[in-house]
Structure 1
């Protein structure tokens, strides 16, 4: 079943609508959706390495626009939608501490957490809730999300065939590692940070 899903994803990665789906996932992940866009970005780049820079740029742009929506949720809708999302991800009891940390370390929090498996939506909503400087938030989001997606694109463009062969020969292992990283991000937020 996993191999069929992988084959479908690889075949769909070159579909004309795949870029729009990637943008939608990237947008949604920055404001409310739990699955990171890397799950589609990686196979799309592996299927067409010449499109790596365009796909990374698109992913960055849509992620930042989604981050602006997340910021708006934190700023305008924190008491309803924002609080529900933060509680859903298990971070509700620590928002006051997080807000205080933002006053002092906001730029570093955005830059570091935008590169990690910690869900970016938590950063975007918290930025709005904390009243972090909006323009600075957008610039820092462009830097951190761009760095993440362009580094992935560079690695996959340069080492694409060996990476693809590794994934195809060890699909179960790669899927398990990917799942552990995603779940690990949520666990870090819930129990460590």
Structure 2
């Protein structure tokens, strides 16, 4: 059933990837990564365009996944996806919040779990979209760039080094996020100290 659906989506080219990425952020259990790789194998010169199509499809689906979480709550997730995925994502989200959304772009856990969890937890929609944009862009464009630069050989690179590639990208993003958070907290501390020392 799933293989037939993936083949059906692949037949529609970029539009199929757009739709797959859209529903990937909402309910479909298979990541759009597979359709992106299949289409990039056919014509590697279009790989960056396909990455763009997939990226925007995912972003447009993100608010809908968020709304489902608002309305149906996290119990809905256990009805449509593996309990182990839901439990892992919930633990990550409770511990790390925004960082979990970034991490969710690079794990086997379907990204829709994070969009729905964000809605059920009343997390900021705009923050969700912002962090999702960073994480999903990194994933879509890494795959796209590999195919654009290395052609069909990129499939072997991704197959062999997939975990290492995305772990490296995640570490870079996590360090950047940590440094930005530290700078913000320092600025907030300085502004508070300045306000206390100069009462009006």
Name the residue aligned to 2:175.
none
- Structure 1 residue ranges without an equivalent (≥5): 168-173, 178-193
Residue 128 of structure 1 deviates from its aligned partner by: 0.5
Partner of 1:64: 59
Moved over 6 A (4+): none
Report the alpha carbon displacement of residue 163 of structure 1 after superposing the two structures with TM.
Answer: 3.7
What is the TM-score of this pair, normalised by structure 1?
0.68
Question: Could you tell me which of 107, 111, 124 is aligned with 2:102?
Answer: 111
- Cα-Cα RMSD: 3.0
Give me the whole-angstrom Cα distance separating, in 2, the residues matched to 1:114 and 1:40: 16
User: 1:143 Cα deviation (Å)?
Assistant: 0.6
Shift of 1:162: 2.3
Q: By how many angstroms is 1:54 displaced? A: 1.4
Q: Separation in 1 of the partners of 2:103 and 2:51?
A: 19
Structure 1 residue 130 corresponds to structure 2 residue 125: no
For 2:37 and 2:81, locate their aligned partners in 1 and report how far apart those are by CA, in whole Å.
25
Q: 1:159 aligns with which of 145, 150, 170?
A: 150
Counting only pairs closer than 5 Å after superposition, residues 38-49 of structure 1 correspond to structure 2 as 38-49=33-44
Question: Which one has the largest radius of gyration?
Answer: 2
Give the Cα–Cα distance (whole angstroms) in 1 for the partners of residues 94 and 31 of structure 2.
27
* Matched length: 152
| Correspondent of 1:89 among 73, 81, 89 | 81
* Aligned residue in 2 for 1:143: 134
Q: How far 1:83 sits from its partner (Å)?
A: 2.5
1:98 to 66, 86, 90: 90
Moved more, 44-53 or 82-91: 82-91
Compare relative contact order (CA 8 Å, sep 6+) and give the higher one, 1 or 2. 1
Is 1:21 aligned with 2:12? no
What's the CA shift string for 1:69-96, capped at 9, x where partnerless?
Answer: 1111001232xxx53333332449x77x
Structure 2: gaps spanning 5 or more residues: 163-200
| TM-score (normalised: structure 2) | 0.65
How big is the shift at 1:104?
A: 5.5
Mapped partners of 1:53, 1:141: distance in 2: 19
CA distance in 2, matches of 1:149, 1:131: 27
Pair 1:30-2:15 in alignment: no
